[in-house]
Amino acid sequence: MRSVLSVLAATLLATTATAQDASSRESTAFTLLTDQPRTAEQEAVRIDLVDLSIKVIPDDKAIDAVAELTFTATAPVARLVVELDTLFDVSAVSVDGLAAEWTNPEGRMTVALPRPLAAGDTTTLRIAYAGQPRVAPNAPWDGGFVWSTAPGGEPWIATAIQGEGCDLLWPCIDSPLAEPARVNLHITVPTGLSAPSNGRFLGSEDHGDGWTTWNWSAANPNTYAIALNIGPYAELRADYRSRFGNTFPMHYWYLKSDDPAQAAALFAEFPLQLDFFEATVGPFPFGDEKMGVVETPHLGMEHQTINAYGNQYRLDGRGYDWLLQHELSHEWFGNQLTNANADDMWLHEGLGTYMQPLYARWLNGDRYMQTELAKMQQDLRNQFPVVSGTLKSEDEVYKGETGPGNDIYFKGALIAHSLRMLIGDAAFHEAVTTLVYGRPDPQPGNFTTLYRSTPDFLRIVNDVTGQDYGWFFRGYLYNAALPVLAETREGDTLGLSWTTGDGGVFPMPVEVEIDGVVQTVPMTGGRGSIAVPAGAHVLVDPDNKVLRRLDFVEAWRARPGR
């Protein structure tokens, strides 16, 4: 999410007031990276349960926390390894109730086990830690804690840690491949403030001493999606009756100072957007918990069942709130389906972004879908492939200096559109649904979260269609340059030929409109031709079904001072 939001950075900085401490200590370089290779010890365990008790102390911009992590060994292992920011002071570490020796030099904590674990053995690691966590220099793009103040002067606090990882908040294995089976959260805040978080609400307890604990439980959460949100919130709640037969709650926590009419108008979009996603992809993945949104002092982030919303109810002529819709898309593309590696991040961002023009059409017709797609093509960079085919860190992918950057959003969406135009709506729907749920017939209760890669998606598309679309994935995803469609005229014949960045064969069929009549030109071997009468008006790809280099867009992009 953090890269695409950069286009609104200037607006956000001008309109969002935050109380940040620029002089705060810095986390290590290791901690500020995420999605790095796991150690052998980390690969030899799974996390069955995380129990987090976190007291948030606004006056000190600090937390006081205890984390208990229950592991099961999947292979023999002699020590436990987790990540935790060195900004925290660790007061106690124990394994199964016994004090343990530990080190945490750069933020990768190694804990000695009293005895080695055999495959199938379980153990519980307890870590007590406290201190001032990293302050986000520019959330959500440069993450950490946001210590802000609501219009009424109350504390307004949020976390946004996608780019830097879960170790800014809790001791974890900082990899998308290390999702815990369950996380229980006990968030203690000053009485009078609310603390909505991930999963199901298990009740709150007022301790009578000025502090109240809010309890939550979430199944299979994405590691960076565990989120703190604290503020003087009012709440809107309603039940959503799904087209799949189940019912689950929708919640929106918004500042009490907001215009109630604006909050109600945004909340009214929830069921409309849910119905679109359920019709287009499949059942809401977390219907046994909730669909939740919370207003935050930063622009937004896809926190599982508690998406952050900071768009300030802006209208932009789309007919829907784009931020709400984009973050909701990540419940499917990011939280239900999680990338196997950052190199596959376009499965989150590209497919999620494609849901916006599809939703524009769902609401208001083709004109609005095509408007959004055209704007996306103008914003392409085409400097790096969307997918490299090698393991990457998030920074290498999201930063345009080293990787595709915003192209994982916009180019990914345009590639998805061309794929849908090529294989048809029915096959595209089946392929995407199978990608997300692991089956083409998802129903509430018959699926669980899963990891996916780009080769997985290709295999699914091939299985659904009965054809090999390796050429499509290679030509679009694994090449930086857009395919070029050359046109030649010899007498009454229009010749067409494709050239891709790597020179590979690209048999993408092309529609040609001749005096208002559309015909499809097969491009066997990447070449084709069609008869064109003299004086006829010819329009290649009249419905813009095919992603390709357009000279007029490139000329516009190259204009000085644009």
Binding residues for Zn(2+): 326, 330, 349
| Residues forming a β-bridge with 71 | 47, 123
DSSP strand pairing (307-309 vs 300-301): antiparallel
CA atoms within 13 A on the CB side of 418: 26
At what angle are helices 407-423 and 366-378 packed, to 10 degrees? Answer: 130
Give, as one character, the DSSP assignment of residue 313: T
DSSP collapsed to 3 states, 153-197? CCEEEEEECCCCCHHHCCCECCCHHHCCCEEEEEEEEEECEECCC
Q: Where are the alpha helices (DSSP H) in 252-390?
A: 260-280, 322-329, 346-364, 366-378
Helix (H) or strand (E) holding 553: helix 551-557
The answer to whether the beta carbons of residues 299 and 142 sit under 8 Å apart is: no
Residues for the chain: how many in total? Answer: 562
Helix (H) or strand (E) holding 462: helix 454-465
The answer to whether the beta carbons of residues 204 and 215 sit under 8 Å apart is: yes
Q: How far apart are CA 429 and CA 464, in angstroms?
A: 10
At what angle are helices 470-477 and 407-423 packed, to 10 degrees? Answer: 150
Q: What share of the chain is helix, strand, coil (3-state, %, to 5)?
A: 30, 30, 40
The answer to whether the beta carbons of residues 310 and 359 sit under 8 Å apart is: no
Q: How far apart are CA 460 and CA 446, in angstroms?
A: 19
Annotated binding site: 326, 330, 349
E strands present in 191-270: 200-206, 211-219, 229-230, 233-241, 247-255
Tally of helices (H runs) and strands (E runs) in the chain: 12, 27
